[in-house]
């Protein structure tokens, strides 16, 4: 009987990809992947440390795994493991702590623990410095639904004042171009209809290589036989320079949807965050995209209540959102992160004000989304929908520009791309109700 493993992933799409690669490697060694709620022989917790809450959830899940099976082997990896191995070490029952330099080491460690059959009295710690680290080789050849994420870049050198991730992920390092192309080919040949190229700082792919930049990579991906849709992970707005936009606008496979990580619409706040652009530059990038790519939609992240954010600053962010017209805004209240400059900045904003600002910006975002959906419905133009899930007679998928569409149908349309006419907004305002065009 094979050993069972439950893999719990916190945080970003990069972490999710890495967990999938670990899971595939363990399956190749005979492990059975099971839900983390099961009493597994091995648990792997892939941690995030972007906020203090992320750390709390990681500790909580380590303890929960041990409550499911106190004799299980527990291996902890990821960003919290890299930055705070000591606090994880204090949790009784952890067998190994593995940082971000060599995450795949958890595979051999799990094999060794299962072969020995005895838990460690104190955890093995494998958390070397990230200085001089190379891109860790890993890949996947399976995908869960219709979409697969491929990690093409690791590390970040931006040093934004609110962010601990450069300490957890290290310097920029890119997956070699041939390795990216091979992985895309493999997944495409396996039937994957949508590829998302992602990284800690996706826009920086190729900066450390001598054979291309992100536009070069996208052009080569576009030529892969059978390629479906291609999307990009979160991008810094500064990448949307004229030459880059001109090149990507010509690529049929590249979906007309981009997630631009804005964080604020106030120039004063952006400067305190040490972001690399101001609101005028960001709006120019957005206008450039809209001029070059018909029906492009944009989404973003915005932090409200950053230290020193005045009412005038917040109104500047609101005005920026009105002008940018994002399809979706992920609104977050600023959260202190120990070890970052922002955590000790003066003029910290009270939680009550943060909550008010979250509510105000979220309400504006919902209004903008509603307007954009109304405009799309009013065109009465058929749209292409790649269907992903099916439940209770409703197939759900997304258009190329990332509008969620729900279609009543008696049968599953999983992994099918169909033409749909949009009829109305959904009751929750998130997407549209559609009708198949036979």
* Sheet arrangement for strand 297-304: 257-263, 297-304, 328-333
Tell me how far apart the alpha carbons of residues 65 and 55 are, in angstroms, rounded to a whole number: 16
- Helix spans in 190-278 (H): 214-222, 242-248, 267-273
Tell me how far apart the alpha carbons of residues 84 and 82 are, in angstroms, rounded to a whole number: 6
Structure tokens at 416: 């099918």
The model's confidence at residue 146, banded by pLDDT at 50, 70 and 90, is: confident
Tell me how far apart the alpha carbons of residues 370 and 365 are, in angstroms, rounded to a whole number: 9
Who contacts 343 (Cβ-Cβ below 8 Å, separation ≥6)? 336, 337
- Residue 2: pLDDT above 90? no
pLDDT mean across residues, the chain:
96
Please report, rounded to a whole number, the percentage of residues in the chain having pLDDT higher than 70: 100
The answer to whether residues 404 and 410 touch, using CB atoms and an 8 Å cutoff, is no
Nearest to 436 by CA among 427, 416, 426, 389: 416
The answer to whether residues 402 and 417 touch, using CB atoms and an 8 Å cutoff, is no
Tell me how far apart the alpha carbons of residues 165 and 168 are, in angstroms, rounded to a whole number: 5
- Residue 260: pLDDT above 60? yes
- Cβ neighbours of 342 (radius 10 Å): 21
User: What is the per-residue pLDDT for 294?
Assistant: 87
The predicted model gives 14-43 an average pLDDT of: 96
Please count the residues of the chain.
Answer: 438
CA distances from 41 to 53, 89, 106 (A): 27, 20, 14
Residue with the larger pLDDT of the pair 144 and 272: 272
Tell me how far apart the alpha carbons of residues 303 and 362 are, in angstroms, rounded to a whole number: 11
- Residue 438: pLDDT above 80? no
The predicted model gives 10-37 an average pLDDT of: 96
- Cβ neighbours of 262 (radius 10 Å): 26
pLDDT in tens, 111-120: 999 999 999 9
- Cβ neighbours of 144 (radius 10 Å): 10
The answer to whether residues 171 and 159 touch, using CB atoms and an 8 Å cutoff, is no
Domains of the chain: 4-126 (3.40.50.2300), 147-377 (3.80.30.20), 380-436 (2.40.50.140)
The model's confidence at residue 408, banded by pLDDT at 50, 70 and 90, is: very high
pLDDT in tens, 165-219: 999 999 999 999 999 999 999 999 999 999 999 999 999 999 999 999 999 999 9
Q: Where are the beta strands (DSSP E) in 336-377?
A: none
User: What is the per-residue pLDDT for 1?
Assistant: 54
CA distances from 29 to 25, 111, 211, 291 (A): 7, 8, 35, 51
The predicted model gives 377-406 an average pLDDT of: 96
Nearest to 425 by CA among 362, 373, 375: 373
User: What is the per-residue pLDDT for 353?
Assistant: 98
User: What is the per-residue pLDDT for 141?
Assistant: 92
Structure tokens at 309: 């954010």
């Amino acid at each position: 009987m094979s050993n069972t493993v439950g893999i719990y992933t916190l945080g970003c799409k990069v972490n999710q990809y890495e967990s999938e690669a670990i899971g595939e490697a363990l399956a190749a060694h005979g492990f059975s992947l099971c839900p983390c709620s099961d009493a597994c022989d091995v648990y792997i917790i892939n941690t995030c440390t972007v906020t203090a809450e992320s750390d709390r959830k990681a500790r909580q899940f380590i303890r929960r795994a041990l409550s499911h099976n106190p004799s299980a082997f527990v291996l902890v990896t990821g960003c919290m493991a890299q930055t705070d191995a000591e606090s994880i070490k204090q949790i009784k029952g952890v067998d190994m702590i593995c940082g971000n330099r060599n995450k795949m080491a958890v595979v051999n460690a799990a094999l060794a623990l299962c072969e020995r059959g005895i838990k460690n009295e104190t955890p093995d710690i494998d958390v070397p410095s990230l200085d001089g680290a190379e891109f860790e080789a890993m890949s996947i050849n399976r995908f869960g639904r219709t979409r697969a994420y491929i990690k093409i870049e690791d590390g970040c050198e931006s040093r934004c004042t609110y962010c601990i991730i450069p300490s957890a992920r290290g310097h920029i390092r890119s997956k070699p171009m041939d390795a990216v192309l091979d992985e895309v080919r493999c997944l495409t040949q396996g039937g994957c209809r949508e590829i998302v190229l992602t990284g800690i700082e996706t826009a920086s792919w190729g900066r450390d290589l001598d054979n291309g930049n992100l536009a070069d990579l996208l052009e080569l991906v576009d030529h892969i036989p059978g390629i479906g849709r291609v999307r990009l992970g979160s991008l810094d707005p500064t990448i949307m320079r004229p030459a880059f936009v001109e090149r990507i606008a010509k690529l049929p496979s590249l979906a007309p949807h981009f997630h631009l990580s804005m964080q604020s619409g106030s120039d004063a706040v952006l400067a305190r965050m040490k972001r690399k652009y101001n609101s005028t530059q960001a709006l120019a990038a957005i206008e450039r995209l809209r001029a070059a790519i018909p029906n492009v939609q944009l989404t973003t992240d915005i932090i409200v209540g950053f230290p020193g954010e005045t009412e005038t600053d917040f109104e500047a962010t609101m005005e920026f959102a009105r002008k940018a017209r994002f399809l979706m805004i992920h609104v977050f209240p600023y959260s202190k992160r120990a070890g970052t400059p922002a955590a000790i900045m003066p003029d910290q904003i009270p939680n009550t004000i943060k909550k008010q600002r979250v509510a105000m910006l979220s309400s504006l975002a919902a209004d903008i989304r509603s307007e954009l959906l109304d405009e799309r419905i009013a065109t009465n133009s058929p749209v292409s929908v790649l269907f992903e899930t099916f439940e209770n007679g409703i197939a759900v998928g997304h258009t190329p520009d990332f509008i969620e569409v729900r279609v009543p149908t008696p049968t599953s349309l999983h992994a099918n791309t169909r033409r749909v006419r949009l009829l109305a907004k959904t009751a929750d305002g998130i997407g549209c109700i559609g009708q198949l065009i036979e």
